[in-house]
Amino acid sequence: MGDVMDKLVSLCKRRGFIFQSSEVYGGLNGCWDYGPLGVELLRNIKDSWWKAMTYREDVEGIDASILMHPRVWEASGHVDGFTDPMIDCRSCKARFRDDTLTEAQLEAGQCPNCGNKEVLTEPRAFNLMFKTFVGPLEDDSARAFLRPETAQGIYVNFLNVQTAMRHKLPFGIAQIGKAFRNEINTKNFLFRTREFEQMEMQYFVRPGTEDEWFEYWREERWNWFAGIGLPESKMSWHEHQGDELAHYARAAFDIQYAFPFGEGEIEGIHNRGDFDLGRHEEFSGKSLRFFDDQTREKILPSVIETSIGASRTCMACLVHAYHEEEVDGDKRVVMRFHPRVAPLKVAVLPLVKRDNMPDIARKIVADLRSSLPVFYDEGGAIGRRYRRMDEVGTPYCVTVDSETLENDTVTVRERDSMDQSRVAIDALKADIAQRIETWKPAGD
Ligand code: GAP
């Protein structure tokens, strides 16, 4: 398991997907930077989600600020309830989440870091929100938090959006943005980080209709993953029971992906009832009720939330894409991304650097680039150039060769099958678009 993850982390750095944050200073735990190819992959995932969630009549998008009034987090329950139980070592000062220690360590009070016995404290609640100050004074009156979820920016704007866009119930509000959690144990690459991106949607419904909308959104969200290349066979549901439920949730289901280190949550679908709007009414003293002009009632809606980590989904796409295989006695590493999320869609390669081939290839690049991310490479043996593109998951390589000079056709090589076919240059754009649209994973 560690082996696959180590190889993936190394590929991500070497090929410009993901870098350790502040690496030249030794890195900052739980923070990662997206390089040129990583940022494209992440953007493609976010675009796919945004289109699926907001290109419809009943959902609007917003982009709320990360810093919010501190009372928001009292109302939301995060100041009191967003905690992990944590144990300190009195000897070496290391800190652990209590569920990461074994029974034996807890009984002996033995620190897994320094090995000393009877040095562990009792568990204490540790709040996961990052704190900062707004303005020049660094006292309690200026204290603010970096948001631990994007959802609250939606709740406090519920009536603004409803009024501006003249919606009736049910309707939803979606947003993509950064969230921050001071996780005690960051782990597994992008899986649990301190800074990450969420894609959340809150769907406001009439009280009493939560169950039907909960089922509707569970199905919608489950079906979305195949479109970014994560198949059903790798996905599973996990229903939250009893004290697993977050403080705001009446019911919760996770969609999990089978990572090399085990099943891991990518998305949560939550029935939050009227907890959040009710608490914001209580703490702000302002009505957040929807006025139904037919029944003349003021309604406090219930909420179904879909909450997915963009960074975690990016990690699932990377893990899922990674393949090693043997071709003609050589090892081939290939990232089998769905072309929809692949950072580069096409590479254009002149077979040799003469006979006008680079010029023809450059013209093809200019033509394709108006609609697709294209990479141009004229350096080295063609086989090696194909391998470089396989390793970053570029689904199609277009080669300009001597036949091109005779009949204006090029070779299109497919990443997964490595099959090659000839296509007329003037039909190339439509051909590639068609291939992307109809792509199926190998074996289907
Ligand atoms: N608004 C509800 C909410 O935030 P959550 O289950 O705490 O619910 C939702 O988080 C999603 O955010 C998770 O399914 C996961 O994909 C992502 N996420 C949460 N904590 C994360 C972390 N520390 N690092 C990366 N992604 C995280």
User: How many Å lie between the centroid of ligand 1 and the Cα of residue 70?
Assistant: 21
Contact (CB, 8 A) for 47 and 174: no
Cα gap 191→98, rounded to integer Å: 20
Query: Taking Cα atoms as reference points, which of 220, 150, 217, 176 lies closest to residue 47?
Result: 176
Residue for token pair 């590929």: 11
Cα gap 399→426, rounded to integer Å: 14
The per-residue b/e assignment along 217-229, b for 16 or more CB within 10 angstroms, e otherwise, is bbeebbebbeebb
User: How many Å lie between the centroid of ligand 1 and the Cα of residue 27?
Assistant: 23
Query: Taking Cα atoms as reference points, which of 204, 367, 358 lies closest to residue 280?
Result: 204
Q: Which of 150, 181, 196, 259 to mutate to test the pocket of ligand 1 (most atoms within 8 A of CB)?
A: 196
pLDDT band at 444 (very low <50, low <70, confident <90, very high): low
* pLDDT per position as a tens digit, 103-157: 999 999 999 999 999 999 999 999 999 999 999 888 888 899 999 999 999 999 9
* pLDDT per position as a tens digit, 253-302: 999 999 999 999 999 999 999 999 999 999 999 999 999 988 999 999 99
Contacts of 94 (CB under 8 A, 6+ apart): 88, 111, 112, 113, 114
Cα gap 386→398, rounded to integer Å: 10
User: How many Å lie between the centroid of ligand 1 and the Cα of residue 120?
Assistant: 29
Whole-prediction pTM? 0.94
Quote the percentage of the chain above a pLDDT of 70: 99
Look at ligand 1, atom 18, and give the residue with the nearest C-alpha: 309
- pLDDT at position 1 over 80: no
Cα gap 154→61, rounded to integer Å: 9
User: How many Å lie between the centroid of ligand 1 and the Cα of residue 308?
Assistant: 7
Q: Ligand 1: residues whose CB is within 6 Å? A: 149, 151, 181, 183, 192-193, 196, 198, 200, 265-268, 305, 307-309, 311-312
Cα gap 352→358, rounded to integer Å: 8
* pLDDT per position as a tens digit, 300-333: 999 999 999 999 999 999 999 999 999 989 999 9
Helices 310-321 and 2-14: crossing angle, nearest 10°? Answer: 100
- Phi and psi at 380, nearest 5°, equal 95, 175
CB-side exposure of 223: number of CA atoms within 13 Å?
A: 8
Q: Which residue type sits at 130? A: F
Average of per-residue pLDDT across 165-171: 96
Look at ligand 1, atom 4, and give the residue with the nearest C-alpha: 149
Dihedral class, residue 280 (left if φ above 0, else alpha if ψ from -120 to 50, else beta): alpha
User: How many Å lie between the centroid of ligand 1 and the Cα of residue 58?
Assistant: 24
User: How many Å lie between the centroid of ligand 1 and the Cα of residue 139?
Assistant: 30
User: What confidence score (pLDDT) does residue 148 get?
Assistant: 97
Contacts of 218 (CB under 8 A, 6+ apart): 253, 269
Contact (CB, 8 A) for 275 and 248: yes
Contact (CB, 8 A) for 277 and 158: yes
Point out the ligand 1 atom lying closest to the alpha carbon of residue 270: 2
